[in-house]
Amino acid sequence: SYTTDSKSREENKKTLKSLYSLSVDITKIRRLKEWVLLQDVAYVKEIAGILQEMGADETTVANIIERCPEAILHTPAEINSQRALWQLVCQNEKQLIKLIEQFPESFFTTEYQQNQKANILFFQELGLKNNIITRFLTSAPNIFYNPVEKNRNVIETLQRNYLNLGGSEANMKIWILKLLSQNPFILLSTSTAIQENLEFLQKNDFTDQEVLQLLSKLKGFIFQLNSPAMQKSMLFSKNVFKCSDQELKQLVLKCPALLYYSVPVLEERLEGLLKEGISIAQIRETPMVLELTTQIIQYRIKKLSALGYDIKSGNLESLNGTKKDFEVTYGKIQSKRERPIFNPVAPLHIED
């Protein structure tokens, strides 16, 4: 919506002068978004003034403008409205300015203020804590651009399905809030897509309880998939592991990644494991290793091999889990290797 006509290709001298006076690195702006400097109207001093009012020092102001130059094209009225909006969920202006410095693009998107406000109030009414809502505002801002009715509709679809699948009324609120805080992008799905994906699981003989279990394990990512993609992934796994439908179902419940990842991703990860000398039988026993990238697997195998641990002859449990889980496992194996068990009746081998 900003003009970059060739007739006004010259940088706005007034804008440049104001930016220089704030110690803003103009070369950064030229490299990042030069078109901002070509606009006839900019509110450099006014926007800087509002940020300073909130407690930003000169360095912070310069940093914000360098990272999000289009901030200076918004009117002071727009920015004050956005400030009031974000104050609905921020503890104080100190927290607000810190968020603006970290996520300037999210704050300076002002086109959807009515939707943003309605959604903030809806999330508060739903029971989401303000610190979760601020996390959404910064990391998933586009869910606030939806009309509130759209988000409400998705939540109602989830609630209805949770109860239909045998979830209890008492636990429903906790379940919804947990699902949302784990994956706010669920709200970008449509009610139809949610319904179709749940029906796909039921058609594949997952019981209501198992569907609920999968939803929780997948943190709602299942709603960002579609039935044909899930069907292909399941068929791929069935062929690889040479298993029956019932066995496949158990594998998916053990490792929902078999449903979530596309065939090319699963193929690449499987290939990486086989190259390391790991067998299909071992992977079938511990399918969760397919949740890890090939690079992570290679790194973990290398670390374990250095301790003399042969992954090919054991199970793959030691490769599993988060970075923290792996470090704990690695530490245990390391301490076992370093502290041999003393047998008082064993003959002593004394080396020179």
Q: Are 118 and 156 in contact (CB under 8 A)?
A: no
Q: Computed over its alpha carbons, how large is the radius of gyration of the chain?
A: 27
Is 328 within the bounds of a domain?
yes
Domain range for 332 is 226-337
CB 179 within 8 A of CB 187: no
Locate 173 and state its tokens. 């609120």
Q: pLDDT tens string for the chain (352 positions)?
A: 454 444 457 999 999 999 999 999 999 999 989 999 999 999 999 999 999 999 999 999 999 999 999 999 999 999 999 999 999 999 999 999 999 999 999 999 988 999 999 999 999 999 999 999 999 999 999 999 999 999 999 999 999 999 999 999 999 999 999 999 988 999 998 888 888 989 999 999 999 999 988 888 887 777 778 889 999 999 999 999 999 999 999 999 999 989 989 999 999 999 999 998 899 999 999 999 999 999 999 999 898 888 888 887 777 888 888 888 888 888 888 887 766 555 555 554 544 3
Question: Which of these three, 65, 87, 110, is where a domain ends?
Answer: 110
Tell me the two tokens of residue 251: 């594998």
81, part of any domain: yes
* Rounded distance between C-alpha atoms, residue 15 and residue 339, angstroms: 69
Q: Tell me, yes or no, whether 323 lies in a domain.
A: yes
| 258 inside domain | yes
| CA distance to 188, 214, 237, 259, 298, per residue, from 228 (Å) | 19, 18, 14, 11, 31
Residue 168 domain flag: no
Cβ density class 143-171: b for 16+ within 10 Å, e for less: bbebebebbbbbbebbbebbeebebeeee
The pTM (predicted TM-score) of the whole model is 0.78
Q: Is residue 153 part of a domain?
A: no
* Domain presence at residue 320: yes
- Picking from 53, 81, 110, the residue at the C-terminal end of a domain is 110
Report pLDDT for 266. 95
- Final residue of a domain: which of 89, 110, 131? 110
How many domains does the structure of the chain reveal?
2
Name the residue among 34, 27, 30, 64 with its Cα closest to residue 44. 64
pLDDT in the model for residue 153: 94
Query: CA–CA separation, 148 vs 117, rounded Å?
Result: 9
The reply to whether 131 falls in a domain is no
Specify the residue for token string 């103009």. 26
- Predicted local distance difference test score (pLDDT) of residue 341: 53
Q: For residue 125, how many other CB atoms are within 10 A of its CB?
A: 9
pLDDT tens string 246-277: 999 999 999 998 998 999 999 999 999 999 88
